[in-house]
Chains A and B, each alone.
Chain A
Amino acid sequence: MSALEGPRRAAPKSSFFNDPVIRGRIYQALVLGIVALALFFVANNTAENLARQNKTTGFDFFFSTAGFDIFFTLIPYSRASYYWEAFLVGLLNTLLVSVLGIIFATIIGFIVGIARLSRNWIISTLAAIYVETLRNVPLLLMLFFWYFAVLKAMPSVRESIIFFDSIAINNRGINIPMPIFDNLFYLVVIGFFVAVGAVIALRRWARLRLEKTGQRFPVLTTALAILIFIPGVAWMVSGTNVELDIPQLGGFNFRGGINLPPEFTALLVGISTYTAAFIAETVRAGILAVNRGQTEAAQSLGLRDNDRLRLVVIPQAMRVIIPPMTNQYLNLLKNSSLAAAIGYPELVSVFMGTTLNQTGRAVEVVFITMMVYLTFSLLTSALMNWYNRRVALVER
């Protein structure tokens, strides 16, 4: 007893270096010092090298005339436009191909992923061959294949392959008809949005009714009917007229319609099929990750086959699938930069390629390009963290 009540022992004397807090501070100061030194060294060298090459720095070049043409733009752009417009063209082209790529890759990926789990031997083997072939071959090689070996090897303009008198495929791209809407078409668009609103309201009402009375309502068929009916009525009543602008051979090339240049098509096909192989694996892993007991539990509750999938298996699989899938989407966005190799004018090719070569502002251009990709990446991970918090298992 007395021992416990005695005076407190003083902390044992030891070297201050053995105190983890102090030691941590020393280590951090060291690391910070080394990094600062390295940065200073690099910055100093860069400044010296730039000065020696008589290069100016700064972002003022954004407002000088670009002076080069871009053959595929979503916004008005010409040789006389400024560099910031060229930058915007590149960014929009990146986004266009990425969004389309994500849509196609998701569709193909889900089909292949589910097919690989099929009981059917032929289907699952075909899916396995697809995945194992595409995953183990570089994307750049596939882009070269699609661009040089397939699309550039198409017949010349005069000998175009023509489908249904309206789609023409030649070595200058794929020409497809473009619908032209007249002034009243906005009524149909409004009708469509009204229909979407109605469907959302219907779904909510049907769920409330199901919870209250236990009676089901055929939401899917009704929704389809609404989606067709309301815009259809708007179409009839407004008397709007849609014409198809069909590509016609005139002079040396097709005129009218939309021309998809081979660079664009090759990139889109390449990144969609490549990313689809990875998404397929993600989907397969996600479905396999749902415990078999869950399926059995759903069966023993007497759920029908599609209710079992819709209410039990898919919600749990999505929790596993979505985080790696966003990663794949981000990869797709980054991989779209490979287009620089086949000449599709996206961000890297327009900005890090042509603009850098013309202005020589290496530091600024590289910095901006990296920041653009960093922004996309941080936005996606913020979104992902929010989603993960939302769907995280609440464990009791």
Chain B
Amino acid sequence: MSKTGFVRTELVAPMPPPASTVGLTGWVRKNLFATPSDALLTIVGALFLVWAVPPLYNFLIGNAVFVAEDGAACRVDNAGACWAFIWDKMNFFIYGFYPAEEQWRVNICFALGTILIVPLLWPAIPYKAINAILFFLVYPVIVLILLRGDMFGLTYVPTEMWGGLTVTLIIGLVGIVCSLPIGILLALGRRSNLPIVRALCIAFIELWRAVPLITVLFMASVMLPLFAPQGVSVDKLLRALIGVTLFEAAYLAEAVRGGLQALPKGQYEAADSLGLNYPKAMGLIILPQALKLTIPAIVNSFISLFKDTSLVSIVGIFDLLNTVQASSSDLRWGSDHQAVTGYLFAAAVFWIFCFGMSRYSIFMERRLDTGHKR
């Protein structure tokens, strides 16, 4: 009986998975029709898309007017967005009332800013310290000299003539650069052992956080002239900048405090036991870790700061939104969709900046994650 049974010498080729679980069918089953209620939701969602997407496409692209001399082409029936209006007004949206023959100065500022910020944000490029000093300390001075003029033979351009995207970016950048150090100091003050310092910081932070930015801006524009000594006039843009910076500093203080509180107590004790004094302990041990923890919160407040720059239009500064709003009543381009097109453009600009910031923060968070999260 040496007859042996059948023994396989090699593995059978695996059978393909059921057709309903792979490929497009599988994906559709799993993500769209998993249960009856899921299928119902899918149908409702699909109906919504069918209802919303074609008109949206027609408005934005299909029937939109891309090239036109004036509003006549946009006034016809069924015309979509009037993008030609945006192209025509682009100069105003970017530079505001900045004199045309001086706009190269703004362009240099934009170019310089891009040259400095790209390597700053790109982790692989070295010399971060020099780069940061150039961007945060030297660059604002250059921008001020270039835009304001009245120096080195440049003609004087008063801040009332600055406008558009330029002003929006200036307020955003100055707000971010100036409010972070103040915010860190306030956060440290709030965690201080000295009762008077702590009380003052708490009062400042809570007062600023409790009131809407618009009241702060009103206050800055109405009360700062009263606060200043006689004969000193505070520039309108500067007033708004002071208001925005103080307001934002209070929010950043709370974000940084969150990071300070999240650090384990051992870190503070370790710094003490090394004999470091307060500035060294904070600068070398506590803050580098705390700030890393607070990156998402800090970027979130930067995003809301950038969006809030639009409020300066209420106190009469011609930022991007205000230039769009002012152009929407231009009779030469008068049409039904003039205002909507302007708002869509402004929304797209703000969206690109804010979305970019939030994506970058997610990227940095992952990069800096050392796996020590508690």
- A interface vs B, CB < 8 Å? 24, 27-28, 31-32, 35, 41-42, 45-46, 48-50, 52, 118-123, 126, 132-133, 135-141, 144-145, 148-149, 153, 334-335, 337-338, 340-341, 348, 352, 356, 362-363, 366, 369-370, 373-374, 376-378
Set B219, B340, B358: member contacting A149, Cβ < 8 A: B340
Chain B positions 191-245 with a Cβ under 8 Å from a chain A Cβ: 193-197, 200, 206-207, 209-215, 218-219, 222-223, 225-230
Across the interface, do A335 and B212 meet the contact criterion of CB distance under 8 Å? yes
Across-interface contacts of B206 in A (CB, < 8 A): 374, 377-378
Across the interface, do B339 and A149 meet the contact criterion of CB distance under 8 Å? yes
Asked if B111 lies at the interface with its beta carbon under 8 angstroms from chain A, I say: no
Question: With A132-B355, A340-B214, A374-B207 in contact, is A141–B350 under 8 Å at CB?
Answer: yes
CB distance from A310 to the nearest CB of B (A): 18
Across-interface contacts of B328 in A (CB, < 8 A): 148
Question: With A138-B321, A153-B336 in contact, is A120–B41 under 8 Å at CB?
Answer: yes
Across-interface contacts of A337 in B (CB, < 8 A): 212, 214-215
Asked if B107 lies at the interface with its beta carbon under 8 angstroms from chain A, I say: no
Question: With A137-B350, A337-B214, A377-B209 in contact, is A120–B38 under 8 Å at CB?
Answer: yes
CB distance from B102 to the nearest CB of A (A): 28
Chain B positions 277-323 with a Cβ under 8 Å from a chain A Cβ: 303, 307-311, 313-314, 321
Residue in chain B with minimal CB distance to A335: B212
Set A122, A140, A334, A341: member contacting B211, Cβ < 8 A: A334
Interface residues on B, range: 35 or more
Known: A49-B228, A49-B230, A136-B358. 10 other contacts (CB 8 A): A28-B197, A31-B194, A46-B227, A52-B230, A119-B34, A120-B38, A126-B45, A137-B354, A337-B215, A356-B218
A-B CB contact pairs (8 Å), 5 listed = A28-B196, A46-B227, A136-B358, A340-B214, A348-B212
Across-interface contacts of B346 in A (CB, < 8 A): 141
CB distance from A155 to the nearest CB of B (A): 12
Set B197, B200, B354: member contacting A136, Cβ < 8 A: B354
Set B30, B49, B214: member contacting A348, Cβ < 8 A: B214
Chain B positions 27-85 with a Cβ under 8 Å from a chain A Cβ: 30-32, 34, 38, 41-42, 45-46, 48-49
Across the interface, do B211 and A120 meet the contact criterion of CB distance under 8 Å? no
Across the interface, do A32 and B196 meet the contact criterion of CB distance under 8 Å? yes
Across the interface, do A120 and B31 meet the contact criterion of CB distance under 8 Å? yes
Across the interface, do B215 and A45 meet the contact criterion of CB distance under 8 Å? no
Across the interface, do A362 and B214 meet the contact criterion of CB distance under 8 Å? no
Q: How far is the CA of A353 from the CA of B60 in the complex (A)?
A: 38
Set B193, B219, B321: member contacting A366, Cβ < 8 A: B219
Asked if B325 lies at the interface with its beta carbon under 8 angstroms from chain A, I say: yes
Across the interface, do A144 and B325 meet the contact criterion of CB distance under 8 Å? yes
Chain B positions 109-162 with a Cβ under 8 Å from a chain A Cβ: none
Across the interface, do B200 and A138 meet the contact criterion of CB distance under 8 Å? no
Across the interface, do A363 and B223 meet the contact criterion of CB distance under 8 Å? yes
Across-interface contacts of A352 in B (CB, < 8 A): 215, 218
Question: With A348-B214, A363-B226, A374-B207 in contact, is A136–B350 under 8 Å at CB?
Answer: yes
Across the interface, do A45 and B197 meet the contact criterion of CB distance under 8 Å? no
Across the interface, do A138 and B225 meet the contact criterion of CB distance under 8 Å? no
Asked if B347 lies at the interface with its beta carbon under 8 angstroms from chain A, I say: yes
Q: How far is the CA of A48 from the CA of B207 in the complex (A)?
A: 26
CB distance from B201 to the nearest CB of A (A): 10
Set A119, A137, A369: member contacting B351, Cβ < 8 A: A137
Across the interface, do B340 and A139 meet the contact criterion of CB distance under 8 Å? no
Across-interface contacts of A35 in B (CB, < 8 A): 200
- For the complex of A and B, 4 pairs with smallest distance between CB atoms: A377-B210, A122-B45, A136-B354, A334-B212
Across-interface contacts of B41 in A (CB, < 8 A): 118, 120, 122-123
Set B32, B34, B223, B308: member contacting A138, Cβ < 8 A: B308
Q: How far is the CA of A31 from the CA of B207 in the complex (A)?
A: 19
Asked if B343 lies at the interface with its beta carbon under 8 angstroms from chain A, I say: yes
Across-interface contacts of A373 in B (CB, < 8 A): 210-212, 215
